[in-house]
Amino acid sequence: MSRPEIEVRGLHKSFGDNEVLRGIDLEIGQGEVVCVIGPSGSGKSTLLRCVNLLEEPTKGQVFVGGTEVTDPDVDIDAVRRRIGMVFQQFNLFPHLDVTGNLTLPQRRVLGRDKGTAARVAAENLARVGLSEKADAYPSSLSGGQQQRVAIARALAMGPEVMLFDEPTSALDPELVGDVLAVMRRLAREGMTMMVVTHEMTFAREVADRVVFMDGGVIVEDGSPERVIGDPQHERTRHFLSRLLDPAMAEVEEETSEQVGKSEP
Protein backbone atom coordinates (compact mmCIF):
# COMPACT_ATOMS: atom_id res chain seq x y z
CA MET A 1 0.00 0.00 0.00
CA SER A 2 1.23 3.48 -0.83
CA ARG A 3 2.04 6.04 1.76
CA PRO A 4 -1.01 7.47 3.55
CA GLU A 5 -2.16 10.89 2.37
CA ILE A 6 -2.54 12.14 5.94
CA GLU A 7 -0.44 10.71 8.74
CA VAL A 8 -0.61 11.85 12.34
CA ARG A 9 1.94 10.52 14.83
CA GLY A 10 1.89 10.96 18.59
CA LEU A 11 0.11 14.31 18.37
CA HIS A 12 -0.29 16.37 21.54
CA LYS A 13 -1.80 19.82 21.82
CA SER A 14 -2.24 21.93 24.93
CA PHE A 15 -3.78 25.35 25.39
CA GLY A 16 -2.06 26.49 28.54
CA ASP A 17 -2.76 23.86 31.16
CA ASN A 18 -5.59 22.39 29.14
CA GLU A 19 -4.38 19.32 27.28
CA VAL A 20 -6.79 18.99 24.37
CA LEU A 21 -5.04 16.29 22.35
CA ARG A 22 -3.32 13.55 24.32
CA GLY A 23 -1.49 11.42 21.84
CA ILE A 24 -3.24 10.92 18.51
CA ASP A 25 -2.13 8.43 15.87
CA LEU A 26 -4.13 8.42 12.66
CA GLU A 27 -3.59 7.48 9.04
CA ILE A 28 -5.84 8.39 6.16
CA GLY A 29 -5.17 6.78 2.81
CA GLN A 30 -5.54 8.34 -0.59
CA GLY A 31 -9.19 8.70 -1.59
CA GLU A 32 -10.36 7.68 1.84
CA VAL A 33 -13.20 9.51 3.58
CA VAL A 34 -12.84 9.61 7.36
CA CYS A 35 -15.46 11.11 9.63
CA VAL A 36 -14.34 12.22 13.07
CA ILE A 37 -17.11 12.23 15.65
CA GLY A 38 -17.21 12.87 19.36
CA PRO A 39 -18.64 15.12 22.05
CA SER A 40 -17.81 18.82 22.08
CA GLY A 41 -14.48 19.46 23.74
CA SER A 42 -13.18 16.06 22.67
CA GLY A 43 -10.46 17.70 20.55
CA LYS A 44 -11.76 16.67 17.13
CA SER A 45 -11.72 20.21 15.66
CA THR A 46 -8.29 20.84 17.16
CA LEU A 47 -7.02 17.64 15.52
CA LEU A 48 -8.34 18.82 12.16
CA ARG A 49 -6.80 22.25 12.61
CA CYS A 50 -3.46 20.67 13.45
CA VAL A 51 -3.44 18.91 10.09
CA ASN A 52 -3.00 22.19 8.20
CA LEU A 53 -1.22 23.82 11.13
CA LEU A 54 -3.90 26.39 11.94
CA GLU A 55 -3.05 25.16 15.40
CA GLU A 56 0.57 24.44 16.20
CA PRO A 57 0.90 21.01 17.80
CA THR A 58 2.71 20.89 21.12
CA LYS A 59 4.29 17.55 20.31
CA GLY A 60 4.16 14.99 17.53
CA GLN A 61 4.27 14.94 13.77
CA VAL A 62 1.81 15.47 10.94
CA PHE A 63 2.49 14.45 7.34
CA VAL A 64 0.33 15.42 4.39
CA GLY A 65 1.15 13.87 1.02
CA GLY A 66 4.53 12.79 2.38
CA THR A 67 5.56 16.31 3.48
CA GLU A 68 6.04 16.88 7.16
CA VAL A 69 3.75 19.78 8.05
CA THR A 70 5.23 20.06 11.54
CA ASP A 71 8.78 20.49 10.24
CA PRO A 72 9.86 23.96 11.43
CA ASP A 73 11.50 24.65 8.07
CA VAL A 74 8.53 23.63 5.95
CA ASP A 75 7.02 26.17 3.53
CA ILE A 76 3.66 26.07 5.24
CA ASP A 77 1.96 28.23 2.61
CA ALA A 78 2.98 25.76 -0.07
CA VAL A 79 1.69 22.82 1.98
CA ARG A 80 -1.60 24.55 2.69
CA ARG A 81 -2.22 25.02 -1.04
CA ARG A 82 -2.60 21.25 -1.25
CA ILE A 83 -5.05 21.13 1.68
CA GLY A 84 -8.52 22.56 1.26
CA MET A 85 -10.28 23.64 4.42
CA VAL A 86 -13.99 24.24 4.99
CA PHE A 87 -15.08 26.02 8.16
CA GLN A 88 -18.20 25.83 10.28
CA GLN A 89 -18.74 29.58 9.78
CA PHE A 90 -17.98 29.46 6.01
CA ASN A 91 -15.55 32.42 6.27
CA LEU A 92 -16.25 33.70 2.79
CA PHE A 93 -14.65 37.05 2.01
CA PRO A 94 -17.59 39.46 2.38
CA HIS A 95 -15.99 42.27 0.38
CA LEU A 96 -15.76 40.10 -2.75
CA ASP A 97 -18.52 38.60 -4.86
CA VAL A 98 -18.70 34.84 -5.31
CA THR A 99 -16.45 34.84 -8.37
CA GLY A 100 -13.99 37.13 -6.58
CA ASN A 101 -13.93 34.72 -3.64
CA LEU A 102 -12.88 31.96 -6.01
CA THR A 103 -10.52 33.89 -8.28
CA LEU A 104 -8.58 36.10 -5.85
CA PRO A 105 -6.85 33.21 -4.02
CA GLN A 106 -5.99 31.53 -7.31
CA ARG A 107 -4.43 34.70 -8.65
CA ARG A 108 -2.65 35.86 -5.50
CA VAL A 109 -1.50 32.47 -4.24
CA LEU A 110 -1.10 30.34 -7.36
CA GLY A 111 -0.31 33.22 -9.73
CA ARG A 112 -2.89 32.12 -12.26
CA ASP A 113 -3.87 34.68 -14.88
CA LYS A 114 -7.29 36.27 -14.88
CA GLY A 115 -8.73 34.06 -17.64
CA THR A 116 -7.59 30.78 -16.14
CA ALA A 117 -8.76 31.76 -12.67
CA ALA A 118 -12.19 32.74 -14.00
CA ARG A 119 -12.50 29.46 -15.92
CA VAL A 120 -11.52 27.34 -12.90
CA ALA A 121 -13.91 29.38 -10.74
CA ALA A 122 -16.80 28.77 -13.14
CA GLU A 123 -16.04 25.02 -13.27
CA ASN A 124 -16.05 24.71 -9.52
CA LEU A 125 -19.16 26.79 -9.05
CA ALA A 126 -20.88 24.43 -11.46
CA ARG A 127 -19.57 21.53 -9.40
CA VAL A 128 -21.43 22.81 -6.34
CA GLY A 129 -24.45 23.82 -8.42
CA LEU A 130 -24.18 27.56 -7.91
CA SER A 131 -23.24 28.89 -11.36
CA GLU A 132 -26.11 31.34 -11.27
CA LYS A 133 -24.79 32.98 -8.10
CA ALA A 134 -21.43 33.92 -9.64
CA ASP A 135 -22.04 37.66 -9.26
CA ALA A 136 -23.81 37.56 -5.88
CA TYR A 137 -22.20 38.77 -2.67
CA PRO A 138 -21.94 36.31 0.25
CA SER A 139 -24.34 38.34 2.42
CA SER A 140 -27.14 37.74 -0.09
CA LEU A 141 -26.71 33.94 0.01
CA SER A 142 -28.26 31.43 2.37
CA GLY A 143 -25.97 29.59 4.78
CA GLY A 144 -26.10 26.46 2.67
CA GLN A 145 -25.20 28.39 -0.47
CA GLN A 146 -22.36 30.15 1.34
CA GLN A 147 -20.95 26.84 2.49
CA ARG A 148 -21.11 25.41 -1.04
CA VAL A 149 -19.27 28.49 -2.31
CA ALA A 150 -16.68 27.94 0.43
CA ILE A 151 -16.24 24.35 -0.78
CA ALA A 152 -15.89 25.58 -4.37
CA ARG A 153 -13.34 28.16 -3.25
CA ALA A 154 -11.22 25.45 -1.64
CA LEU A 155 -11.60 23.15 -4.65
CA ALA A 156 -10.54 25.90 -7.07
CA MET A 157 -7.06 25.70 -5.56
CA GLY A 158 -6.81 22.08 -6.71
CA PRO A 159 -6.23 20.48 -3.29
CA GLU A 160 -5.25 16.85 -2.79
CA VAL A 161 -6.95 16.69 0.59
CA MET A 162 -10.08 18.36 1.94
CA LEU A 163 -10.67 19.09 5.63
CA PHE A 164 -14.19 19.86 6.83
CA ASP A 165 -14.68 21.39 10.28
CA GLU A 166 -18.33 20.79 11.19
CA PRO A 167 -19.45 22.08 7.79
CA THR A 168 -23.17 21.79 8.49
CA SER A 169 -23.32 22.74 12.18
CA ALA A 170 -24.12 26.41 11.52
CA LEU A 171 -26.86 25.66 8.99
CA ASP A 172 -30.61 25.61 9.28
CA PRO A 173 -31.70 21.97 9.19
CA GLU A 174 -33.36 22.22 5.79
CA LEU A 175 -30.15 23.51 4.20
CA VAL A 176 -27.88 20.73 5.46
CA GLY A 177 -28.81 18.34 2.66
CA ASP A 178 -27.46 20.50 -0.16
CA VAL A 179 -24.06 20.77 1.46
CA LEU A 180 -23.90 17.05 2.27
CA ALA A 181 -24.86 16.26 -1.34
CA VAL A 182 -21.88 18.24 -2.59
CA MET A 183 -19.61 16.45 -0.12
CA ARG A 184 -21.00 13.05 -1.07
CA ARG A 185 -20.27 13.78 -4.70
CA LEU A 186 -16.75 14.90 -3.83
CA ALA A 187 -16.20 11.65 -1.95
CA ARG A 188 -17.41 9.61 -4.93
CA GLU A 189 -14.96 11.49 -7.17
CA GLY A 190 -12.17 10.09 -5.00
CA MET A 191 -11.18 13.10 -2.90
CA THR A 192 -9.32 12.35 0.32
CA MET A 193 -11.54 13.82 3.02
CA MET A 194 -11.34 14.31 6.76
CA VAL A 195 -14.69 15.43 8.11
CA VAL A 196 -15.50 16.51 11.65
CA THR A 197 -19.24 16.16 11.84
CA HIS A 198 -22.34 15.35 13.85
CA GLU A 199 -24.20 14.05 10.78
CA MET A 200 -24.38 10.35 11.57
CA THR A 201 -26.35 9.52 8.44
CA PHE A 202 -23.63 11.08 6.33
CA ALA A 203 -20.92 9.28 8.28
CA ARG A 204 -22.72 5.95 7.88
CA GLU A 205 -23.35 6.34 4.17
CA VAL A 206 -20.29 8.12 2.87
CA ALA A 207 -17.39 7.48 5.25
CA ASP A 208 -14.96 4.66 4.70
CA ARG A 209 -13.97 4.95 8.33
CA VAL A 210 -15.37 6.59 11.42
CA VAL A 211 -13.14 7.78 14.25
CA PHE A 212 -14.68 8.39 17.65
CA MET A 213 -12.76 10.80 19.87
CA ASP A 214 -13.30 11.62 23.51
CA GLY A 215 -11.09 13.38 26.05
CA GLY A 216 -8.32 14.08 23.54
CA VAL A 217 -7.77 10.49 22.45
CA ILE A 218 -9.14 8.24 19.73
CA VAL A 219 -11.45 5.78 21.42
CA GLU A 220 -12.62 3.84 18.38
CA ASP A 221 -11.54 3.73 14.78
CA GLY A 222 -13.18 1.50 12.21
CA SER A 223 -15.80 1.06 9.55
CA PRO A 224 -19.05 2.99 10.04
CA GLU A 225 -20.93 -0.27 10.51
CA ARG A 226 -18.66 -1.14 13.41
CA VAL A 227 -18.22 2.21 15.13
CA ILE A 228 -21.76 3.54 14.66
CA GLY A 229 -23.62 0.25 14.22
CA ASP A 230 -21.87 -1.84 16.85
CA PRO A 231 -19.71 0.36 19.12
CA GLN A 232 -17.30 -1.55 21.35
CA HIS A 233 -16.83 1.07 24.02
CA GLU A 234 -19.28 2.36 26.57
CA ARG A 235 -18.29 5.98 25.85
CA THR A 236 -19.09 5.57 22.16
CA ARG A 237 -22.42 3.94 22.94
CA HIS A 238 -23.27 6.69 25.40
CA PHE A 239 -22.38 9.44 22.92
CA LEU A 240 -24.28 7.83 20.07
CA SER A 241 -27.40 7.24 22.12
CA ARG A 242 -27.47 10.88 23.12
CA LEU A 243 -26.87 12.02 19.56
CA LEU A 244 -29.40 9.75 17.91
CA ASP A 245 -32.14 10.41 20.43
CA PRO A 246 -31.44 13.61 22.38
CA ALA A 247 -34.95 13.68 23.81
CA MET A 248 -34.35 10.43 25.69
CA ALA A 249 -31.26 11.64 27.58
CA GLU A 250 -31.46 11.66 31.36
CA VAL A 251 -30.32 14.62 33.45
CA GLU A 252 -26.77 13.84 34.47
CA GLU A 253 -24.45 15.16 37.12
CA GLU A 254 -21.95 17.42 35.33
CA THR A 255 -18.49 15.97 35.62
CA SER A 256 -15.82 18.62 35.91
CA GLU A 257 -13.22 16.70 33.90
CA GLN A 258 -14.90 16.87 30.48
CA VAL A 259 -11.55 16.53 28.80
CA GLY A 260 -9.71 14.51 31.38
CA LYS A 261 -12.05 11.55 31.57
CA SER A 262 -10.33 8.35 32.54
CA GLU A 263 -9.35 5.85 29.89
CA PRO A 264 -11.79 3.04 29.19
Residues 6+ apart with CB under 8 A from 94: 137, 138, 139
Instruction: Output the CA–CA distances (angstroms, integers) from residue 77 to 6, 10, 53, in the order listed.
Output: 17, 24, 10
**How are strands ordered across the β-sheet holding 192-196?**
83-86, 161-165, 192-196, 33-37, 209-214, 217-222
The single residue among 42, 64, 87, 167 that binds another protein, judged by CB under 8 A, is 87
Q: Does 142 bind another protein (CB under 8 A)?
A: no
Residue with Cβ nearer another protein (127 or 209): 127
Could you give the CA distance from residue 109 to residue 78 in angstroms, rounded to a whole number?
9
Asked if 77 interacts with another protein (CB under 8 A), we say: yes
Report the residue number, 96 or 134, with the smaller CB distance to another protein. 96
Site for another protein in 223-252 (CB under 8 A): none
Chain Cα centroid distance, residue 88: 9
Q: Does 94 bind another protein (CB under 8 A)?
A: yes
Looking at 8-16, 89-97, 116-124, 214-222, which segment touches another protein (CB under 8 A)? Answer: 89-97
CA–CA gap between residue 31 and residue 113 (Å, rounded): 30
Among 154, 155, 179, 227, binds another protein (CB under 8 A): 154
Neighbours of 64 (CB within 10 A): 25
Stretch that binds another protein, among 7-15, 22-30, 60-68, 150-158 (CB under 8 A): 150-158
Q: Is 111 in the site for another protein (CB under 8 A)?
A: no
For the chain, the C-alpha Rg in angstroms (whole number) is 19
Of the listed pieces 10-18, 32-40, 118-126, 153-161, which binds another protein according to CB under 8 A?
A: 153-161
- Asked whether the beta carbons of 5 and 82 are under 8 A apart, the reply is no
Q: Which residues bind another protein (CB under 8 A)?
A: 52, 54, 77-78, 80-81, 83-85, 87, 89, 91-95, 104-105, 108-110, 139, 150, 153-154, 157
